């Protein structure tokens, strides 16, 4: 269709165009030049009529008049001299501007031709960004908390790469330390040679079983010593199992063949289990680091800093950093026996990564209980002269709990990731079969749809929540086909696809449905307005590291489309131009929903 406005105006954001026109209005009406920062434009609040609102107060210095009169004069000028503005109203010091339907239709015409709805989101100065997520320990399987971590990290990767950054997905596997030795020692004492093959258990589940068994027996020993009159802290250190575990850690760091061989065997079981869970979650990594490697680099860094008097050695030979000038605390970096702590390996990992990738930013997707840890990490690297440490960003997210409360891995009360994934797919199957719309599908097709719905429900329910907030995960709520859920958005998408299949049966070319001169209604315009916000939502989500913005945008768009679908006929519309316009509107809606959900790592089924 013919454009009613110059293409340059359609390609530029309306806010920018409005700024130029308002500056022109002030120049003509008040003979004054106005700086950009004095022109404050925002989207009009939903309880007022209009699309964009100008805050008039900063312009009173030029008008020497009341806010109401100033708003009236500028609004009238824009209406008379800018075809895109069809009306206005002034509420106190706010000028609400109404954009003409013709402008929105022209804007939509350009939007409908976009092959990739992320093109308008591309950054002008792309960076190299590492996103670290997952970070599991090899003494237990992945659980619900890991699911939130993995889904947030993978979505960040897609969002940041979607806007043009070079993103490397990394994982640091915590495969050494006292907690790993607990599982190893328990297996030695109680395992009787059990393996994943002999037990029929996934390797990570088997190793996790022995971690829980260690804690159970350790607790009994500690309680016995306390009962004999020993103080609790003393009892925890004196318990035979803990002493044996510390001895095993020392042997591991010394390279004891028997201990290292057992460590390799049990870790191999865990890695195989992790890989299977990652595949089910639909996440992967470009580079995996292992603490058993990076802690060595960290120890070298610490010893070098000690020689340079950046760190100090305590009387018991442990090595510390004094971070009190930074407003922090004293930080242990090497124990008195020479063994490393978590911070040691994090120093080594950061230095290794920067040497390998020369990153601009390294984003750590780690729960908010580690906020202080990452403050210390940055301070340490800065103290040691690594100026690039300013690029380290802790993506701090809240804990995820169940309706019945917090999970405890030591007590074996965690929600296992594999069990939850299986439960979500089973629930998706039950709900889908109740709806009775899959009778003509093969069994393989059904199971693939159940998988996509179940995983879509799980991912969306977690990602729609502001990452900074703690959340309660309710499986039953997440699978609902109504409301703010993944299945609701997926169903909207498949509803549009169903329209297209029927259109093709009617001989209508969905990809070339011409609608020049179509008369549009307010509902169509509202949909277009919402579509306009997609690129800004993605840009804001990338800047603020918030997948939740995209998730909730997709829900708003799906909800608006469903209202439109309910109120208006598409293929049954007798006016061919209007019908084609609604088909194209549906097509762009489906494209944006698909793209938005892709950014979240959620698959969209073609039929449900």
pLDDT digits (tens, 9 = 90+) for 9-33: 343 478 889 999 999 999 999 999 9
Same fold: 133-411 with 417-599:
no
| Residue 505 confidence (pLDDT) above 90 | yes
pLDDT tens-digit series, residues 517-561: 888 999 999 999 999 999 999 999 999 999 999 999 999 999 999
Q: Report the C-alpha gap between 18 and 51 in whole angstroms.
A: 12
pLDDT at 404 (0 to 100): 67
Mean pLDDT of the chain: 93
pLDDT at 334 (0 to 100): 96
Which pTM value belongs to this model? 0.90
Tokens (6 digits) for 234: 């003393």
Q: What is the DSSP letter of 98?
A: E
- Spatial contact of 134 and 285, defined as CB atoms under 8 Å apart: yes
Fold of 7-99: Gyrase A; domain 2 (3.30.1360)
Which residue in the block uniquely carries the two structure tokens 């920062």?
A: 37
- Spatial contact of 381 and 350, defined as CB atoms under 8 Å apart: yes
- Spatial contact of 266 and 195, defined as CB atoms under 8 Å apart: no
Q: How far apart are the first and last CA of the chain?
A: 35
Q: Report the C-alpha gap between 193 and 134 in whole angstroms.
A: 30
CB atoms within 10 A of CB 459: 28
Q: Report the C-alpha gap between 28 and 36 in whole angstroms.
A: 16
pLDDT grade, residue 156 (50/70/90)? Answer: very high
CB atoms within 10 A of CB 306: 17
Supply φ then ψ for residue 288, to 5 degrees.
-110, 125
Which residues make Cβ contacts (< 8 Å) with residue 481, sequence separation at least 6? 431, 435, 487, 488, 491
Among 131, 172, 137, smallest CA distance to 154 is for: 131
Which residue in the block uniquely carries the two structure tokens 């059904």?
A: 446
pLDDT tens-digit series, residues 225-260: 999 999 999 999 999 999 999 999 999 989 999 999
Tokens (6 digits) for 195: 């393996």
Going through 262-418 in order, the beta strands assigned E by DSSP cover 287-290, 312-313, 319-322, 330-334, 361-367, 392-397, 400-401
Supply φ then ψ for residue 568, to 5 degrees.
-130, 145
Mean pLDDT of the region 326-333: 96
Q: How many residues does the chain have?
A: 608
Alpha-carbon torsion angle 36, 40, 43, 48, nearest 10: -140
Per-domain residue ranges for the chain? 7-99, 133-411, 417-599
pLDDT at 413 (0 to 100): 53
| Residue 409 confidence (pLDDT) above 50 | no
| Residue 438 confidence (pLDDT) above 90 | no
pLDDT at 12 (0 to 100): 47
- Spatial contact of 290 and 270, defined as CB atoms under 8 Å apart: no
Q: How far is residue 369 CA from its own chain's centroid? A: 18
Q: Report the C-alpha gap between 71 and 96 in whole angstroms.
A: 9
Sign of CA dihedral 226, 230, 233, 234: negative
Q: What is the DSSP letter of 496?
A: H
Q: Report the C-alpha gap between 121 and 596 in whole angstroms.
A: 12
Exposure pattern of 538-576 as b/e (b: 16+ CB <10 Å)? Answer: bbebbeebbbbbbbbbbbebbbbbbebbeeeebeebeee
Task: Give the CA angle between residues 352, 355, 359 to the nearest 5°.
Answer: 105
Which residues make Cβ contacts (< 8 Å) with residue 536, sequence separation at least 6? none
Tell me the CATH number for domain 417-599. 1.10.730.10
Q: How far is residue 18 CA from its own chain's centroid? A: 33
Lowest mean pLDDT among 3-7, 159-163, 435-439: 3-7
Tokens (6 digits) for 160: 């940041």
Q: Report the C-alpha gap between 508 and 226 in whole angstroms.
A: 81
pLDDT at 512 (0 to 100): 87
Tokens (6 digits) for 465: 């929540």
pLDDT grade, residue 41 (50/70/90)? Answer: very high
pLDDT at 436 (0 to 100): 72
Strand pairing partners for 128?
166
Mean pLDDT of the region 185-193: 97
Q: Give the strand pairing for 312-313 and 287-290.
A: unpaired
CATH architecture of structural domain 133-411: 3-Layer(aba) Sandwich (3.40)
């Amino acid at each position: 269709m013919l454009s009613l406005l110059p293409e340059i105006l359609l390609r530029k954001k309306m806010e920018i165009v409005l700024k130029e026109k308002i500056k022109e209005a002030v120049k003509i009406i008040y003979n004054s030049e106005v700086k950009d920062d004095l022109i404050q434009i925002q989207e009009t609040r939903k309880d007022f009529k209009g699309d964009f609102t100008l805050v008039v107060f900063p312009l009173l210095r030029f008008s020497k008049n009341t806010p109401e009169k100033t708003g009236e004069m500028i609004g009238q000028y824009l209406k008379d001299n800018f075809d895109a503005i069809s009306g206005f109203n002034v509420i106190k010091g706010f000028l609400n501007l109404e954009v003409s339907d013709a402008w929105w239709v022209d804007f939509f015409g350009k939007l409908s031709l976009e092959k990739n709805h992320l093109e308008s989101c591309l950054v002008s100065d792309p960076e190299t960004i590492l996103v670290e997520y997952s970070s599991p320990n090899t003494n237990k399987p992945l659980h619900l908390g890991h699911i939130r971590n993995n889904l947030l990290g993978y979505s960040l990767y897609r969002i940041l790469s979607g806007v043009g950054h070079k993103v490397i997905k990394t994982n640091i596997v915590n495969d050494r330390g006292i907690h790993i030795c607990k599982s190893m020692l328990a297996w030695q004492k109680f395992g009787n040679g059990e393996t994943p093959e002999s037990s029929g258990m996934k390797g990570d589940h088997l190793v996790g079983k022995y971690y829980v068994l260690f804690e159970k027996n350790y607790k009994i020993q500690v309680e016995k010593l306390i009962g004999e009159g020993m103080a609790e802290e003393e009892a925890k250190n004196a318990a035979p199992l803990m002493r044996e575990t510390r001895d095993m850690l020392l042997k591991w760091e010394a390279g004891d063949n028997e201990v290292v061989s057992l460590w390799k065997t049990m870790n191999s079981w865990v890695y195989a289990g992790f890989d299977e869970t990652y595949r089910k979650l639909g996440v992967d990594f470009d580079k995996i680091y292992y603490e058993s490697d990076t802690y060595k680099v960290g120890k070298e860094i610490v010893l070098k800093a000690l020689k340079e008097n950046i760190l100090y050695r305590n009387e018991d030979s442990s090595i510390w950093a004094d971070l009190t000038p930074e407003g922090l605390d004293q930080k242990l970096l090497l124990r008195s026996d020479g063994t490393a702590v978590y911070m040691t390996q994090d120093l080594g990992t950061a230095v290794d990564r920067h040497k390998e990738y020369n990153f601009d930013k390294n984003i750590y997707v780690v729960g908010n209980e580690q906020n202080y840890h990452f403050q210390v990490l940055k301070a340490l690297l800065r103290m040691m002269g690594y100026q690039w440490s300013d690029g380290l960003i802790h993506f701090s997210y809240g804990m995820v709990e169940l309706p019945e409360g917090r999970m405890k891995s030591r007590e074996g009360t965690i929600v296992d990731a594999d069990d939850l994934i299986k439960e979500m797919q089973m629930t998706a199957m039950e709900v889908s079969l109740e709806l009775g719309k899959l009778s003509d599908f093969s069994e393989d097709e059904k199971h693939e749809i159940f998988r996509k719905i179940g995983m879509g429900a799980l991912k969306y329910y977690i990602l729609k929540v502001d990452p900074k907030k703690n959340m309660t995960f309710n499986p039953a709520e997440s699978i609902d086909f109504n409301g703010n859920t993944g299945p609701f958005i997926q169903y909207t998408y498949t509803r549009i696809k169903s329209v297209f299949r029927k259109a093709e049966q009617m001989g209508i070319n969905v990809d070339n449905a011409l609608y020049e001169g179509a008369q549009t209604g307010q509902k169509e315009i509202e949909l277009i307005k919402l579509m306009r916000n997609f690129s800004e939502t993605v840009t804001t989500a990338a800047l603020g590291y918030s997948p939740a913005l995209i998730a909730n945008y997709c829900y708003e768009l799906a909800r608006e489309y469903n209202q439109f679908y309910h109120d208006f006929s598409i293929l049954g519309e007798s006016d061919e131009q209007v019908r084609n316009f609604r088909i194209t509107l549906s097509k762009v809606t489906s494209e944006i929903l698909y793209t938005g959900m892709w950014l979240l790592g959620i698959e969209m089924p073609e039929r449900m």
